Amino acid sequence: MTRTPLLFTPPSASPALAPSAAVLRGSWYGIDLGAIRHNYRQLRSQLPPTVRIFACLKRNAYGCGASEVAKALGDEGADGFAVASLLDAIAIRGSGLKQPILLYPGPGTSSAETIGALDLTVTISSLDELEQWCGALPTLRIFVKVDLGFFRAGATPSQAVPLLAAAARRRNVKVEGIYAHMSEFPGRRHDDARDQLDRMQKILRGAASLGLRPEVAMMSSSEAVLAYPDMDFDAVDPGALFFGLSDGDRPVRHISLRPALKTIAANLVSVKRIDVSLGPTPDIFGLKPGMTIGVLGMGWGDGMPRQLPSTAAALVAGKRARLLGPVHLEHVRIDLSDVPNARFGDEVVLLGRQGSQSISHEEACRTWGTDPIGLYGQLRDHVPRIYA
C-alpha cells in the first residue's frame, strides 16, 4: 500500500517548520517572543522575589501559541502556567515543560484520565465539583476558586472556608492553593477593588484560624498586578500583560511593554484588471470599471471582520492600498490601482511594517472593529505563526 507523504507538521508541534506552513497556508502571524520575554522581565523586576508568577496562557496564549510562549516564559523562570482549555495544557506539556499547570474552570471529569496523566491541577468551586472530581481521580490536586463579586465561577465568600475544610478531610486531595479573579464589569469603581481585597483577606484569616490556609493565595491578573501591589499575596497570574496588553487606568507599577503580535499578513492569490467582459460592476464601495484589484488569502473565517470601514487599508509593495468589502470566508479584495507592479504571490501586510509604511495596532483595531485585546482574541489557531 502506498502511503501519502506528510507535507508538513503544524507549527504548534514543530516551530522550525512554521515558515513552510505559512507558505502552504498563504497567510500568517508574526509573533515576537523577544517582546514576551521582555514583558516578563519587566514584571518580575517589580515583584518581591517570594511572589510566584503563574503565566495565564488562556485562548492558546492569547492567540500567540501556548507551546512556544510557554517555552519562552519557562526559560525566563515562570513558576507555573494557567489555562482554561485542556488543549492548551496538552500543548504546554508537549513542549517538555514540567512546571505546575492550573486548569481554570472548563475541563470536566470526562477528561480525568488526561488530566491525571499530565499532572495538572484542577479548579474546584463547590462541594459538588469536589465530589465529582474525587470520584474521577485517585489523587486530586486542586486550587479552590473564590468569587469575590465577579458572578462567575468560584465559591462565594461564605462557602470558601467550608469548601477548604471539606477538601482537607479527603485523603486523596491536596489543596495547593486558593485564587480569585477581580470583577471586570463596566463601571466598576476603585472602591470595588478594595472591597474584593477585604473579602479575600477575610477568607484567608478564617482559613488560617482553622489551619486550612493553603500555601498559595492568588488574586492578581494583569490589571491588578500593576495597580494593587497589596494583592500580590503568594502568587500572581497575569496573562494579557505578557503580550503587551494593559488596559488599567490606575497603574502603581509602571513598566514598559512591547506588543507580541508584530505582523498579520497574507499573499495575493489573484491580480486582475476589471474589464467589460465581467458585465456590470456591482454596487460595492470602491469598486469601479477599469480598476486593478487583488484578492488576499485571508477572510472572516481567519478572524477578519465581515464588514470593513471605508478607511481600511493594507500594505503592498511598500504602498498603502484600500481594502474593499465585503469580506468573504477566506478572501478579501484590495484596490491595486496605485500599485501597478503588484503581482500574484506578493505579501500584503494587514498589521506591521513593510518598507517605510506601517499599519499600527491602533489602525488594525479600527479596521477589525475591536480593541487591542480583542485583536489578539480574534487570531485563529489554524493560521500559522512565525516566531522571532
Domain extent, residue 371, equals 261-387
| Model pTM above 0.85 | yes
User: Do 77 and 122 have their domain in common?
Assistant: yes
User: Do 51 and 133 have their domain in common?
Assistant: yes
At 13, the pLDDT band (50, 70, 90 cuts) reads very low
Question: Looking at 33-42, 192-201, 248-257, which range is the least confident one?
Answer: 248-257
**Burial class for 49, CB neighbours closer than 10 Å (0-12, 13-18, 19+):** exposed
Which CATH number characterizes residue 232's domain? 3.20.20.10
User: Do 225 and 288 have their domain in common?
Assistant: no
Q: How many domains does the chain have?
A: 2
pLDDT of residue 284: 83
Nearest by Cα to 320 from 294, 362, 348: 348
Nearest by Cα to 28 from 245, 267, 244: 267
User: Do 96 and 162 have their domain in common?
Assistant: yes
User: Do 239 and 330 have their domain in common?
Assistant: no
Cis peptide before 326 (omega within 30 of 0): yes
Q: Is residue 14 part of a domain?
A: no
The x, y and z cell numbers of residue 378, run together, are 480574534
Q: What is the pLDDT of residues 135-145, one digit of tens each?
A: 999 999 999 99
Q: What is the pLDDT of residues 264-291, one digit of tens each?
A: 999 999 999 999 999 898 888 888 999 9
Whole-number average pLDDT of the chain: 92
Query: Distance from first CA to last CA of the chain, Å, rounded?
Result: 41
Q: What is the pLDDT of residues 299-328, one digit of tens each?
A: 999 999 999 999 999 999 999 999 999 999
The x, y and z cell numbers of residue 44, run together, are 518580575
Nearest by Cα to 285 from 313, 310, 311, 312: 310
Q: Which amino acid is at 273?
A: R
User: Do 80 and 132 have their domain in common?
Assistant: yes
Cβ atoms of 360 and 331 closer than 8 Å: no
The x, y and z cell numbers of residue 235, run together, are 502568587
Q: Is residue 336 part of a domain?
A: yes
At 131, the pLDDT band (50, 70, 90 cuts) reads very high
